[in-house]
Structure 1
Amino acid sequence: MNSQTDSDPLVRFTDVSLGYGDFTVLQGIDLEVRRGQVVAMMGGSGSGKTTLLRAATGQITAQKGSIQVFGKDIAALSGEGLREVRQRMGVLFQQGALFTDLNVFENVAFPLREHTQVSESQIVERVLDKLDAVGLRAAAHLKISEISGGMARRVALARAVVLEPELVLYDEPFAGLDPISLGITAQLIRGLTDRLQCASILITHDVAESFAIADQVYMVGQGKLIASGTPQALSESQDAYVRQFLNGEPDGPIAFHYPTSPAFTKWLDQHTGRS
């Protein structure tokens, strides 16, 4: 039985530890994401941001703690139950993952054809509505090879929200975009979140654009949740890690080198001939 109300978090991590095999990437993670919020999960490269996204979508299971999505324990779901939860989500992958043999319209229409029984006229109406929301209604007929990288990201965004999901996850949505496309994409994420009254989670290291649209920021590093709060609160923080990350400083508590793990030590022993 799902007794979730509109005021309950759509996503809740409680004392969660995440990792792969024997290696723990993050531990002690507590976070909440509510309807209508844009939440940024930030950290340096290799800090575990994408691991958080994989955990929220049920691709990996928490080593410790609980992850609830739409009021359900995601670790207890499998098969049809997991598929139903994932259908309530939209995901914008880092590379867009568009089908190059389909035109813009058919790329956005794909989830509707795959997961719904709506009529062709409804598909046309819904797809053109979402393309209009990202400023690309008149590009519906174009091949993917005929549009720019920034336009392709907006097509992928339209596809991610065409089923009007309750939760949208964005994996590095600003990576590789020029300044204009970057600003447009940020405002589209904010606008679509408000229009659909969904929750949006950004996995990102882009400070300026994320802070401009986020309601809440969670910052991970050194294997844990370093800081959380509103963009304004974090901007005023004197925490050494937060200051180093926000200012892009090379020296500080964030180490450049990937941490040594038991798995690496074992591998190194095998390859250097140590007994």
Structure 2
Amino acid sequence: MPSLSSAPDDLVLRLADVSLGYGDVSILRDISLNVRRGQVVALMGGSGSGKTTLLRAATGQIKARAGVVSLFNQDLAQVTGDQLQTLRQKMGVLFQQGALFTDLNVFENVAFPLREHTKLSPSELLARVLDKLEAVGLRTAAHLKVSEISGGMARRVALARAVVLEPELVLYDEPFAGLDPISLGITARLIRSLSDRLGCASVVITHDITESFAIADHVYLIGQGAIKAHGTPTTLGNSPDPYVQQFLKGEPDGPVPFDYPSTPKFESWLKQQEARR
């Protein structure tokens, strides 16, 4: 049975030659990446490129078809259900829609993980929640209902909740989606500052280039079922790779075609449709 002792180094999440998919459909193949303590790592790619599938693999929601997914130095294919739950308690997740409880106020939304997983005294809980709300600029909004705050503020409340247990790894699933430019910039800076403050590893799953490049230490560009490139934002920005440049500049023409590629399943479907006419 694998030990749940602390990793001997600063490696928090590791994927080695990992392939992922659903049913008979392969989504990603030969994926290798490392995430270390204190790093902000961006996983970037277009819609449908497999970014969220990687998040599900990192949290143990799906198993790798090949390769190894290692979380806190533990192979997720080898841990028990109870061990996986213990590992998840060292993680925070900010979901794309925030997933706040609409019947709870701001304070209770952030306090919820503490009430579920700790035995803090009321005074300790109050101090911890207000500290995290202050970190996202919403200490004095603690009493408000979710219906009384803006979408950008709700995302910041969700961010405070994601880090209230002071996790060692935080996963952000499209944290910038649907935000206005001001809220987007605020959220990006908060991700960086909270990572530095907590010393945790942060994985940002996104397709937002400007904000991600401003805060990330390392970027992985995912496309066509694989990692197409990776490096620092500066390295990728200077890359001569046509795929990288097409993605970064949003160009319609390049290695990524506009038209969805034909497949044998499509051709079979089309023949069936034509035969019915």
Same fold (TM over 0.5): yes
Instruction: Specify the SS of the correspondent of 2:63.
Output: coil
- What are the within-5 Å matches in structure 2 for residues 191-206 of structure 1? 191-206=193-208
Q: Partners in 2 of 1:96 and 1:19 — Cα distance? A: 26
Deviation at 1:41, TM superposition (A): 0.1
The correspondence for 1:150, drawn from 131, 149, 152, is: 152
User: Could you tell me which amino acid in structure 2 is paired with residue 228 of structure 1?
Assistant: H
Aligned to 1:93: 95
- 2:61 equivalent in structure 1: 59
Q: 1:124 to 1:255 in 2, by over 3 A?
A: same
Partner of 2:9: 7
- Residue 133 of structure 1 deviates from its aligned partner by 0.1
Query: In the alignment, does 2:10 pair up with 1:17?
Result: no
Q: Contact 2:42 / 2:220 at 8 angstroms: preserved in 1?
A: yes
CA contact (8 A) 1:126 1:162 kept: yes
Following superposition, the deviation at residue 77 of structure 1 comes to 2.3
Q: Residues 5-37 of structure 1: CA distance to partner in whole angstroms, max 9, x if unpaired?
A: 463410000000111111111111110000000
Q: What is the Cα deviation at residue 102 of structure 1?
A: 0.4
Deviation at 1:255, TM superposition (A): 2.7
Q: 1:242 and 2:244 equivalent?
A: yes
State the distance in 2 between where 1:258 and 1:57 align.
30
Residues 186-237 of structure 1: CA distance to partner in whole angstroms, max 9, x if unpaired? Answer: 0000000000000000000000000000000000101111000000000000
Change (3 A) 1:137 1:28: same
Q: Retained in 1: the 8 A contact 2:7–2:72? A: no
| Counterpart contact for 2:38–2:195, Cα < 8 Å | yes
Q: CA deviation at 1:117?
A: 1.3
TM-score, normalising length: structure 2? 0.94
Distance 2:64 2:26 in 1: 10
Q: Which of the numbers 39, 46, 49 marks the counterpart of 2:48?
A: 46
CA distance in 1, matches of 2:267, 2:56: 26
Structure 2 alignment gaps of length 5 or more: none
Q: Distance in 1 between matches of 2:274 and 2:50?
A: 29
CA RMSD, 1 decimal: 1.7
In structure 2, do the counterparts of structure 1 residues 81 and 270 end up closer, same or farther at CA, with 3 Å as the change threshold?
Answer: farther
